[in-house]
């Protein structure tokens, strides 16, 4: 079965510091992977996606993620955190269980302090 695991329900960084949010996947075939962001009282917005093209994927708001097959990882990074990055971040994978479906990890809340 395919799934994603997000390590750390909360991550705290200072403004200007590196952001690293971890996501590991389990899949027997090359997966489609996604990072979504959710701001308070909002729906989910796509940050970036990996669909088996380039392994380093750049997204919106300065975020990027690297697909590493050897580590089964798809960690999200941003070189310098802004206060406006404070939100919940979800890693997601397409499951191919006869039919495709989109399944999410448990989420990581990013806290940014001045």
- The closest of 31, 2, 6, 33 to 20, measured between CA atoms, is 6
Q: Which of residues 86-105 bind another protein (CB under 8 A)?
A: 90, 94, 97, 99-105
**Segment interacting with another protein (CB under 8 A) among 17-25, 31-39, 54-62, 71-79:** 31-39
Smallest separation, CB 70 to another protein (Å): 25
Q: Which is nearer to another protein, 70 or 100 (CB)?
A: 100
Of the residues 26, 51, 55, 113, which one makes contact with another protein according to CB under 8 A: 51
Using an 8 Å Cβ cutoff, are 48 and 63 in contact?
yes
Other Cβ atoms closer than 10 A to 56:
10
């Amino acid at each position: 079965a395919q799934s994603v695991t997000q390590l750390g329900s909360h991550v705290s960084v200072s403004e200007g510091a590196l952001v690293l949010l971890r996501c590991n996947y389990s899949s027997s075939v090359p997966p489609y992977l996604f990072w979504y962001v959710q701001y308070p009282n909002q729906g989910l917005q796509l940050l970036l996606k990996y669909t088996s093209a380039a392994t380093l994927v750049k997204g919106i708001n300065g975020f990027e993620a690297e697909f590493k097959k050897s580590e089964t990882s798809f960690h999200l990074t941003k070189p310098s955190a802004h206060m406006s990055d404070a939100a919940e971040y979800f890693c997601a994978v397409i499951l191919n269980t006869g039919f495709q479906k989109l399944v999410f990890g448990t989420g990581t809340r990013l806290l940014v302090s001045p």
